[in-house]
Amino acid sequence: MTNIILLGPPGAGKGTQARRLVEERGLVQLSTGDMLREAKDSGTEMGKIVADVMARGDLVTDEIVIGLIEEKLDGEKVGGFIFDGFPRTLAQADALGALLARKGETLDAVIEMRVDDAALVDRISGRFTCGACGEVYHDTTKPTKIEGTCDECGSTDLKRRADDNAESLRQRLMEYYKKTSPLIGYYYHAGNLATVDGLAAIDDVAKSVAAVLDR
Ligand code: AMP
């Protein structure tokens, strides 16, 4: 079983690379952001609690996201997980370690996707996704071939995230630097950190990620 964490600020390309790994290696993507957005869209009690927090760009409580991950890990047996957007705090990292250990699983790689802030603002402000299949696009760097239609599945349900605006992004980046970036040191010392250049073209980032997994 291969379990990996994709670590990096919002807009680093974690979701894009996770989707490729799902396709190419049959791993299961666990995105706490996607899970929380689903809860919000379906109007569950938890969804109502997290909606404002997410819109501001703050982090949801450790308790909620750890609970979401725990539920998924207790599900059916799969070839491995890609943790995308989790863990985001040291407490979450400790909890993940304990959950994996309890299941007799290991964490095989933590891949830090490094990008600079100027690129993040640009990437996030142009980003949109397909509501049906989840494909990620960008106004200038990866537009759809036919305007308003997903290249992958033909859906016209293309969406922009409510928190992909300048103000929320500023807060999301602050949260990243204050609470998530310490995980780089944490995993470096645990011995499983690898860093890839997240500013490279999507295919080149995918090659660097593959090189880490196949080393
Ligand atoms: P993402 O899709 O990963 O950018 O996450 C969107 C938003 O969901 C974040 O800005 C947080 O408000 C919340 N969120 C997602 N994952 C986590 C997490 N691991 N811990 C706390 N909050 C999270």
Q: Per residue in 146-187, pLDDT tens?
A: 999 999 999 999 999 989 988 999 999 999 999 999 999 999
Please tell me which residue in 14, 19, 40, 179 is annotated as part of the active site: 14
Pocket test for ligand 1, best of 36, 70, 81, 129 (most atoms within 8 A of CB): 36
Please tell me which residue in 56, 127, 179, 207 is annotated as part of the active site: 127
pLDDT of 215: 86
Q: Is 128 a residue whose pLDDT tops 80?
A: yes
Question: Is 179 within 8 Å of 96 (Cβ atoms)?
Answer: no
pLDDT of 87: 98
What distance in Å separates the CA atoms of residue 118 and residue 130, rounded to the nearest whole number?
25
What is the arithmetic mean of pLDDT over 94-109?
95
What distance in Å separates the CA atoms of residue 125 and residue 44, rounded to the nearest whole number?
28
Q: Which of 30-34, 76-80, 139-143, 172-176 has the lowest mean pLDDT?
A: 76-80
Of all protein residues, whose CA lies closest to atom 12 belonging to ligand 1?
A: 54
What is the Å distance from ligand 1's center to 51 Cα?
Answer: 11
What distance in Å separates the CA atoms of residue 74 and residue 98, rounded to the nearest whole number?
13
Query: Is residue 127 flagged as an active site residue?
Result: yes
Question: Is 137 within 8 Å of 128 (Cβ atoms)?
Answer: yes
What is the Å distance from ligand 1's center to 104 Cα?
Answer: 27
| Of 191, 192, 195, 211, the residue nearest 203 (C-alpha) | 211
Atom of ligand 1 nearest to the CA of 57: 10
Q: Is 78 a residue whose pLDDT tops 90?
A: no
